[in-house]
């Protein structure tokens, strides 16, 4: 990692280097953003509060033109109210001799006296209203004493601190107190082409980083765009590393497709046109180059059978295959699926998960190295340094959005010449595929296999839950299975009214008793797997869960999923959850359950889900509704959480990014000072750093 060689690089230091005694506040900051001071400044504000300071005579036009106005007012009189229905009134006057009433409802005398003193001048900010003969402000947004006017911010950044208990004002103070580090930052020669900078009227990195936190005008978008270009370019360079490794020109030529043809002839269903196209494209890759291909398919579109057919051909050509999935549940499911599909082909399949004993794992390691295992299915355990393949020819990464770049690099190290097939059930708009994966070949599977029932999506209020219970009883009577999803494990400190898994479990047990079981992320993996198998094969009819079931669970008998507080989930995650049903021939329902605290944005999500089953359309709508930040919902989706790049606003410069990245290939990128600087800004992982430092 970059080493500071002068005081000018203090922004890369950790908070601990400034103060060896960490407060609880700093510890929370480090958990949320990272340990370095620079990590703090890489957190882009979610919005900006704009205040208009008015020194002239105030008119009704000011009230119409500005949401928040700031006025320098002298306190003439304080009229306390001892009636709860009547406000306390602070009568004030500006330099133009206009009277303004500042009103407070249900505010104690003690608080009012702690803020205001007769005869003093204050800068009061709030929503200006015209009431009878005077202007008034009810419950000001801020009040500054005259001696603190220099702290006034006409444009104040507001930061998204999630569900953390970090005080927003204290956080802003931390930003203010550390701004000196940006000023001390000594940036190297510009790494973006000057013509491109001039064309976009961008500022340099240092000024852009400073101005997003300390804006002096309304050009914050221009500063963000500059940093967004840096970010997406850096991301693209790293992704390119996966495809353009030192030995990427070498590949294993595969042109024998006898096994897949044999399997296809024995299938009891016909492949869709999209599946056939994907297989055709993959075969072309395998026969002509080192494959690096993404299969994008909506939930239940049949991606797994495509990967299985290709796996059979790779093995038939004398190579091994590794399939990596994010959960033990999905690994088990794949294992039994592949065993059944390949039952007439003589090959060895092994399952590697965390629950195996050391003896069992060592047995797999030995067989794998000797080439006695053809197909290995596992979770992150495939990264284990003890795993040595005899002849790894294909890496399949399923539900890839659950894995980071570093994990994919680790697996690829097992054999850099291997073909790579990435599968994602999180629909990504075509325009975003480039930003996330770089120059990757893409196959899209949109159509679902014939016989799949369309899922009916119903939006209902929690007030109707008793009617819902009766409907579920009818489904259980028909031997159909039901998922019930809640967003929380324990009590939500931010919103204590939000339903959690503990209280919902008690509620459902009253109606369904032993027919209901519960899983969540704090349980042991083997407990979760055991309950899911009982749900699949035995008399458990309702599975209560957190979003743990979002990926890969295939229960053909499941005909209903209830998603509680559905408006609190991201659109793509809702679509993934909905995909847990409708996987057999039973008519299925997705019930989106909401409470009375429904926001406008939450309502938008529910309307989109009710009106569409198209995952690609839903992904586009997710962009429109959410804008920047975590594009595909809450963090469970695992896709990039951009700091500055806004996929809805910044698509126009992606072609410039592509062209620019080619100029910045490792061999051409020789300015060491630039390398060190960029490494320190964007990368903390040694593997990724090596891309720049060689």
Mean pLDDT, the chain, rounded, equals 81
What pLDDT score was predicted for residue 499?
A: 55
Contact 274, 304 (CB under 8 A): no
CATH architecture, domain 455-626: 3-Layer(aba) Sandwich (3.40)
What pLDDT score was predicted for residue 165?
A: 79
Question: Could you read off the pLDDT of 582-620 as tens digits, one per residue?
Answer: 887 889 999 999 988 788 888 889 999 999 988 878 877
What pLDDT score was predicted for residue 215?
A: 85
Domain boundaries, given as residue ranges, for the chain: 1-46+160-179, 52-152, 187-249+652-693, 257-445, 455-626
CATH of domain 52-152: 2.40.50.140
- Do domains 257-445 and 455-626 share one topology? The answer is yes
User: Looking at per-residue confidence, does 372 or 151 come out higher?
Assistant: 372
Partners of 75 in beta bridges: 92
Q: Mean pLDDT across the stretch 86-94?
A: 94
Percent of the chain with pLDDT over 70: 81
Q: Which residue has the tokens 């049949």?
A: 302
Position 397 pLDDT exceeds 50: yes
Prediction pTM value: 0.67
Q: Mean pLDDT across the stretch 104-125?
A: 94
- Range name among 103-107, 145-149, 426-430 with the lowest pLDDT average: 426-430
Q: What topology is assigned to 257-445 in CATH?
A: Rossmann fold (3.40.50)
Helices 328-341 and 525-537: crossing angle, nearest 10°? 50
Question: Could you read off the pLDDT of 309-346 as tens digits, one per residue?
Answer: 999 999 999 999 999 988 888 888 899 999 999 988 88
According to DSSP, residue 641 is labeled B
Beta-strand runs (E) in 312-406: 320-324, 349-352, 375-378, 392-397
Question: Could you read off the pLDDT of 38-67 as tens digits, one per residue?
Answer: 888 888 888 888 888 998 999 888 877 788
What pLDDT score was predicted for residue 50?
A: 85
What pLDDT score was predicted for residue 105?
A: 92
Give the integer Cα–Cα distance in Å for 62 and 51.
12
Residue 552 sits at φ, ψ, to 5 deg, of 80, -5
Question: Could you read off the pLDDT of 643-680 as tens digits, one per residue?
Answer: 888 777 787 787 788 777 777 655 555 556 665 666 56
Position 9 pLDDT exceeds 50: no
What pLDDT score was predicted for residue 687?
A: 42
Q: Mean pLDDT across the stretch 468-488?
A: 92
What pLDDT score was predicted for residue 599?
A: 81
Q: Which residue has the tokens 């209280």?
A: 503
Position 627 pLDDT exceeds 60: no
Question: Could you read off the pLDDT of 190-244 as tens digits, one per residue?
Answer: 778 888 889 888 988 888 988 999 887 767 788 999 998 988 887 777 666 555 5
Position 639 pLDDT exceeds 50: no
Give the integer Cα–Cα distance in Å for 172 and 327.
39
Report helix, strand or coil for 323. Answer: strand
Taking alpha carbons only, the member of 552, 556, 292 closest to residue 443 is 292
Question: Could you read off the pLDDT of 414-435 as tens digits, one per residue?
Answer: 777 889 898 887 766 665 666 6
Q: Mean pLDDT across the stretch 539-558?
A: 86
What pLDDT score was predicted for residue 6?
A: 43
Position 1 pLDDT exceeds 50: no
What pLDDT score was predicted for residue 481?
A: 95
What pLDDT score was predicted for residue 364?
A: 94
Question: Could you read off the pLDDT of 270-295 as tens digits, one per residue?
Answer: 899 999 999 999 999 999 988 888 89
DSSP string, 153-179: -SEEEE---TT----HHHHHHHHHHTT
What pLDDT score was predicted for residue 131?
A: 86
Q: Mean pLDDT across the stretch 246-253?
A: 66
Position 94 pLDDT exceeds 50: yes
Taking alpha carbons only, the member of 253, 242, 200, 203 closest to residue 223 is 203
Q: Mean pLDDT across the stretch 136-147?
A: 93
User: Looking at per-residue confidence, does 433 or 96 come out higher?
Assistant: 96
């Amino acid at each position: 990692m970059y080493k500071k060689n002068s005081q000018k690089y203090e922004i890369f230091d950790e908070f601990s280097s400034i103060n060896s005694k960490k407060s609880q506040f700093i510890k929370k900051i480090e958990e949320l953003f990272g340990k370095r001071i620079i990590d703090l400044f890489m957190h882009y504000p979610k919005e900006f509060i704009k205040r208009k300071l008015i020194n002239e005579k105030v008119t009704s036009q000011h009230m119409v033109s500005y949401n928040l106005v700031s006025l320098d007012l002298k306190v003439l009189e304080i009229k306390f109210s001892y009636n709860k229905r009547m406000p306390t009134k602070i009568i004030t006057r500006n330099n133009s001799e206009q009277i303004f009433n500042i009103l407070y409802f249900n505010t104690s005398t003690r608080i009012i006296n702690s803020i205001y003193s007769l005869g003093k001048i204050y800068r009061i900010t709030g929503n200006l209203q015209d009431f009878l003969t005077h202007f008034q402000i009810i419950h000001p947004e801020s009040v500054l004493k005259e001696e603190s006017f220099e702290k006034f911010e006409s444009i104040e950044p507001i930061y998204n601190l999630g569900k953390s208990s970090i005080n927003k004002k204290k956080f802003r103070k931390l930003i203010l107190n550390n701004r000196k580090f940006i000023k001390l930052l000594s940036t190297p020669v510009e790494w973006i082409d000057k013509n491109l900078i001039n064309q976009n009227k961008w500022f340099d990195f240092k000024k852009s980083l400073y101005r997003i936190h300390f804006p002096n005008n309304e050009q914050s978008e221009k500063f963000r765009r500059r940093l967004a270009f840096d970010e997406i370019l850096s991301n693209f360079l790293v992704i390119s590393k996966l495809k353009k490794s030192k030995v990427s020109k070498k590949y294993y030529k595969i042109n024998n497709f006898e096994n897949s043809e044999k399997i296809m002839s024995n299938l009891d269903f016909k492949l869709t046109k999209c599946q056939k196209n994907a297989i055709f494209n993959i075969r072309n890759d395998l026969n002509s180059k080192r494959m690096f291909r993404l299969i994008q398919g909506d939930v239940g579109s049949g991606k797994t059978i495509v990967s299985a057919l290709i796996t059979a051909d790779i093995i038939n050509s004398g190579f091994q295959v590794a399939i990596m999935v994010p959960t033990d549940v999905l690994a088990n499911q794949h294992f039994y699926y592949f065993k059944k599909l390949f039952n007439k082909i003589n090959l060895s399949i092994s399952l590697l998960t965390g629950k195996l004993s050391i003896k069992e794992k060592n047995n797999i390691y030995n067989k794998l190295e000797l080439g006695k295992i053809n197909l290995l299915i596992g979770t992150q355990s495939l990264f284990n340094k003890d795993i040595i393949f005899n002849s790894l020819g294909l890496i399949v990464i399923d539900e890839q959005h659950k894995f980071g770049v570093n994990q994919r690099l680790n697996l690829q190290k097992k054999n850099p010449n291997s073909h790579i097939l990435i599968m994602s059930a999180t629909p990504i708009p075509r325009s975003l595929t480039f930003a996330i994966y770089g120059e990757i070949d893409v196959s899209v599977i949109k159509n679902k296999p014939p016989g799949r029932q369309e899922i009916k999506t119903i939006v209902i209020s929690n007030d109707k839950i008793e009617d819902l219970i009766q409907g579920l009883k009818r489904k259980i009577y028909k031997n159909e299975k039901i998922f019930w999803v809640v967003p929380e494990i324990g009590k939500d400190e931010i919103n204590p009214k939000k339903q959690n898994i503990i209280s919902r479990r008690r509620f459902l047990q009253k109606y369904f008793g032993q027919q209901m079981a519960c899983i969540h992320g704090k349980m042991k993996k083997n407990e979760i797997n055991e309950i899911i198998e009982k749900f699949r094969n035995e008399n458990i009819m309702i599975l209560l869960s957190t979003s743990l079931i979002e990926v890969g669970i295939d229960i053909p008998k499941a005909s209903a999923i209830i998603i509680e507080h559905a408006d609190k989930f991201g659109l793509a995650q809702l679509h993934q959850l909905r995909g847990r049903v409708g996987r057999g021939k039973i008519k299925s329902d997705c019930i989106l359950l909401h409470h009375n605290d429904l926001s406008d944005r939450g309502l938008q999500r529910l309307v989109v889900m009710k009106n569409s089953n198209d995952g690609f359309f839903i992904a586009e709508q997710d962009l429109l509704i959410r804008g920047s930040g975590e594009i595909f919902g809450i963090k469970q989706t695992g896709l990039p959480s951009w700091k500055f790049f806004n996929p809805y606003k910044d698509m126009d410069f992606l072609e410039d990014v592509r062209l620019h990245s080619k100029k910045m290939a490792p061999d051409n990128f020789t300015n060491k000072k630039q390398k060190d600087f960029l490494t320190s800004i964007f990368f903390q992982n040694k593997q990724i750093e090596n891309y720049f430092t060689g």
